Amino acid sequence: MTKYLLYKVRSITLHPGTVFWSVFFVLFWAIMWVYVFGTGITKYSSMPWYREAVSAYFATAFSSLGIIAMGSASIGLTQGLFTSIAAIRFLTRFSRLSPRRFIVEDLVASLLSLLVVALVEVVAVILLVWQRYGVLIEPKHPLALLGLLVVLGLFFYELSLVSGHLALMVASRHMRSALSGLSLIVSFVPYALLFTGSGNLAGYVFPPIGLQALIIGAVSGETPPATNTINWFKESFLEGRAYTSIDPGLAMAATLVWLLVMGIAAMELARRAKAVHPAELG
């Protein structure tokens, strides 16, 4: 291992842009969920399943906010790849940071950084809920939760590589800027679908949506549908009506296909990449 791994984690997690947009900005919404949006749940405080209901409801909060935090941090990864491509090309040739070592250390460091920002949101929501409702959210399947967060991190890492390489390919500054923000745009899709129904298909087609449902399932013990999760919570979790949940196996299989396709796309884009004049890199 070289110092690259440690310094990459430090570089991402201490970058003011990352800290603001993926931690403080998302924390603001965590506070809104706990102290404004979620207060209606207190009317069930006398029910025996109140603790489970609080856990499940706020699992939707930290799963979606965690995804947004990861998406936001991924912008840093995309821009990092873009601005440092000259240094990467030099170092992988003429330093101990061989391509293989670079790939491994960059992946591990990026995953760790994405997990850190996601876990900050998870822990923040848990602490805020405990403070506001006196309920300590205890995930029913903590290992599954961690595993799902890692898979999500992988998804955003690969997405940042693909968008980073696409940004390197285009000469237009505006297009580059739009591509850098791709992961954040993507991370808001599952959030939006918490409130609207478009069936389970979306969860199989687009991994963050399916993974969000699975994360809620890892915490609550029940797997919700891929979309319209808030409605599921009201009608099914609280009132016991029947619902169709997402198939975890199918959702994971779809996610693996996406990871494979994006991994191949990233490698192919990189292989075809042409050198960019450093003045273009900013």
Planar angle of CA 208, 210, 216, nearest 5 degrees: 100
Q: Is 135 within 8 Å of 55 (Cβ atoms)?
A: yes
Q: Is 11 within 8 Å of 79 (Cβ atoms)?
A: no
Distance of alpha carbon 78 from alpha carbon 75, whole angstroms = 5
Binding of residue 14 to another protein (CB under 8 A): yes
CA distances from 236 to 69, 138, 216, 224, 246 (A): 28, 21, 14, 9, 14
Distance of alpha carbon 263 from alpha carbon 281, whole angstroms = 24
Binding of residue 151 to another protein (CB under 8 A): no
CA distances from 189 to 113, 153, 182, 185, 250 (A): 22, 16, 11, 7, 20
Tell me the window of 4-12, 124-132, 139-147, 221-229 that interacts with another protein (CB under 8 A).
4-12
Tell me the window of 131-139, 151-159, 192-200, 268-276 that interacts with another protein (CB under 8 A).
268-276
- The minimum distance between CB 99 and another protein, in angstroms, equals 5
Among 70, 73, 97, 116, binds another protein (CB under 8 A): 97
Binding of residue 241 to another protein (CB under 8 A): no
Among 20, 47, 99, 195, binds another protein (CB under 8 A): 99
DSSP 263: H
Tell me the window of 61-69, 101-109, 144-152, 208-216 that interacts with another protein (CB under 8 A).
101-109
Among 39, 42, 83, 131, binds another protein (CB under 8 A): 83
How many of the chain's residues bind another protein (CB under 8 A)? 44
Please say which residue, 85 or 145, places its beta carbon nearer to another protein: 85
Contacts with another protein, residue ranges (CB under 8 A): 2-4, 7-8, 10-12, 14-15, 80, 83-84, 86-103, 171, 266-267, 270-278, 281
